[in-house]
Chains A and B, each alone.
Chain A
Amino acid sequence: MASMRERAPRADAADAAAPALDLPPEIVAAIDAAISAHRTRPGALLPILHDVTARIGYVPPAAIASIAHALNLSRAEVAGVVSYYHDFRDAPPGRCIVKVCRAEACQAVGADALVEHACTRLRVAMHATRDDGAVSLEPVYCLGNCALGPSITVDGKLYGRVTPERFDRLVAQVKP
């Protein structure tokens, strides 16, 4: 039965075998804090990965070993989850994250043209972070704002009826 694979987390966070992290101390502290906040909850892996992302913006590959150790999982299991979900990234994002909805309802009101405009205005391709680290541009598949498309988010904040002009105002913080 699949559920038999659910294993108890390790009891002791300071287990002698805990792997050392080759990361700056503040990032190590953030990862440790996320692990200790959730490690005893059932199904703790997603809450931990969300928490790490909320604290430092991404899940450093070097953190996988310590998360795996704390949850008594293999590194492959943790890496597999990180790579499976769109929300988890393994490298720091740009200083501003712009997501443009590409789903059908937004396509019906010009989302494809807005994607093109976004790439031109932000000088970055979809799924990419600009070389200067100023911005990441990503697709998203439905923001639940389908009567007021095209929709985007800028740093998590939702905007509807986004024309190219409105887009430019909303990303004014990003230098062209």
Chain B
Amino acid sequence: MTTTVYVPRDAAARSMGADQVAAAMAAAAPEARIVRNGSRGMLWLEPLVEVVTGSGRIAYGPVTPEQVPGLVAAGMLHGADHPLRHGPVDSIPYFAKQERLTFGRVGLIDPLNTDDYAAHGGWAGLRAALELAPEQIVATVLDSGLRGRGGAAFPTGIKWKTVLETEASQKYVVCNADEGDSGTFSDRMLLEGDPFAVIEGMIIAGLATGATAGFIYLRSEYPDAADALHTALASARAGGYLGPSILGSGKAFELEVRMGAGSYVCGEETALLESLEGKRGIVRYRPPMPAVQGLWGKPTALNNVVTLASVPIILARGGAYYREFGLGRSRGTLAFQLAGNIARGGLVERAFGVTLRELLYDYCGGSASGRPIRAVQVGGPLGAYIPAADFDLPLDYEAFAAKGAIVGHGGIVAFDDTADMAKLARYAFEFCAIESCGKCTPCRIGAVRGKETLDRLRAGDRPRHQLALLRDLCDTMEKGSLCAMGGMTPYPVKSALEHFPEDFGIERTPAANASGTRA
């Protein structure tokens, strides 16, 4: 009997030599069938090789190409013991203790095989949606409580309802795959590990809103995701899931991938639309919202990758099933991404309400350096720095907002006690200055002046004066910027100042607060 061996094709696994491991495996075990799967999200174990045995899929990792012949000789193909063996992959605590809804298939299946996708629940949501009226699809998504996973957390059902109710000769679905936040990779892992789920979600969005065309705007830093999408789109077309008549329903939907070009602000929805139209990625004034006037002025359902990939399971199992997970107004699950100075970094999908401490210590085993974790930045470069004293905060949109912080897209970057928080605060301004689209003054000028002011503060030049200036500047940026780029750059700056004033050469007193930080 042919043994099946899984070696991930995920970009993170490849960055650690998965291609060479797959080649070494083919040479050492020519009788084995090698499947290139997505990553299970236990990234510190990549390349994580799985062997299908009578007692489940046995995991070995991290495997180097040089170790492959020895592993095969030791009986790996029969699941034999070895120092790299972790037992059945789904009993590894990090993985076993997750609630995998959106990422249920990632790592499990051959991501580019439509049959494997269908055998694991794929297309069930689309088939259910084809039996429903657009209003009923929208009602199901509203009922699930799903909110935008890109970071803004706007209710998806309300966005879709607006598109549905706006009359137009053409409507669009746009998938925002411009995942630029440092510390985030869930969009990438989904696009590489289960691209059909994103495609299925977009087709359902089309049925719900009356849109017949869609675009996936993918950042150019993700070439592996682009390859996976192009292959998956061709199969979906060949299988009749895309085209003039979806599964013979008479309803049309066509989809294409467009590449970004290295601009962070194009992750902002209106800048993204400008970029798709072939222009500079400059933020638009809102209103009109994209749901009313979006791509080429037409109503556009613009959603994040994880949001769209969560839709099929909601349609397949019902809104109530999804809503059962989570707490308060944060329903369902979020794919948390643990990154930076962390011992066991990776992806953990859990219902809202899990605490930072559980994620950082129970799952991830603390810092990679072995030193205390001093701070984490949650929600990307525009997210606040959170000190160890607040690690028991439940991850929930409202609880974080009450602290002047954000959950955002679920990225969590850990820093140990060697981190210079003043340098990181300066970097926040520096990054804003590099990536600002330049349309509004608070962001374009504020970022540069903020960097200069922080430099003077760090040099000890009239600190009280600089702090007053910073307070005023942060206030102007927050209230006066057109979008989150300028509007939220103060979050990391103010939180660093508030919780780590000593790094700025300031004594730890209430006066050290840069402004009315809501902590």
Residues of A within 8 A of B (CB): 1-4, 6, 42-47, 49-50, 71, 77, 80-81, 84-88, 103-109, 140-149, 151, 156, 158-161
Contacts and interface: CB of A to CB of B under 8 A. Distances in A.
A158 B220 CA distance: 13
Contacts, number: 154
Interface string B331-359: 00000011111100110000000000000
A144 B184 contact: yes
Contact of B15 (A71, A84, A160): A160
A46 B409 CA distance: 26
Contacts of A85: 260-263, 280-281
A43 B277 contact: yes
Interface in B297-325: 297-298
B377 interface: yes
29 contacts: A1-B293, A46-B261, A46-B275, A49-B261, A50-B259, A81-B279, A85-B262, A85-B281, A86-B261, A86-B262, A87-B262, A103-B182, A105-B183, A105-B339, A141-B264, A144-B11, A144-B184, A145-B11, A145-B12, A146-B182, A146-B345, A146-B411, A148-B43, A148-B44, A151-B15, A158-B11, A158-B15, A159-B15, A160-B12
Q: Which of B182, B284, B435 counts the most A-chain CB atoms under 10 A from its CB?
A: B182
A164 to B, nearest CB: 17
B182 A145 contact: no
A105 B340 CA distance: 4
Interface string B251-289: 000000011111110000000000111111100100000
Contact of A142 (B221, B260, B338): B221
A55 B295 CA distance: 29
Interface in B363-417: 368, 377, 381, 411, 413-416
Interface in B180-224: 180-185, 187-188, 220-223
Given A84-B263, A142-B221, 8 more contacts: A3-B297, A46-B275, A81-B278, A104-B183, A104-B427, A144-B179, A146-B339, A147-B12
- List 7 A-B pairs, minimum CB-CB distance, nearest first: A147-B345, A3-B297, A86-B262, A103-B182, A108-B340, A146-B339, A85-B261
The A interface is mostly helix, strand or loop, or mixed, namely loop
Nearest to A6: B296
Contacts of B377: 104
Nearest to B385: A104
B110 interface: no
A142 B181 contact: yes
B46 interface: yes
Given A6-B296, A109-B341, A141 B431 contact: yes
Q: Which of A71, A105, A156 counts the most B-chain CB atoms under 10 A from its CB?
A: A105
Contacts of B381: 103-104
A84 B276 CA distance: 14
A141 B414 contact: no
A176 B281 CA distance: 38
A146 B279 contact: no
Given A104-B413, A148-B43, A81 B280 contact: yes
B185 A144 contact: yes
A146 B179 CA distance: 12
B180 A147 contact: no
B14 interface: yes
Contacts of B440: none
Nearest to B189: A144
Contact of A46 (B15, B258, B340): B258
Given A142-B182, A144-B222, A160 B16 contact: yes
A77 B263 CA distance: 17
A139 to B, nearest CB: 9
B74 interface: no
B293 A141 contact: no
B84 interface: no
B133 interface: no
A4 B297 CA distance: 8
B89 to A, nearest CB: 18
Contacts of A105: 182-183, 339-340, 411, 413
Nearest to A110: B341
Nearest to A81: B280
B12 A141 contact: no
Contacts of A71: 278
A148 B278 contact: no
Contacts of B340: 104-105, 108-109, 146, 149
A2 B258 contact: no
A109 B416 CA distance: 9
B221 A148 contact: no
A152 B277 CA distance: 30
A48 B381 CA distance: 31
A157 to B, nearest CB: 8
A147 B338 contact: yes
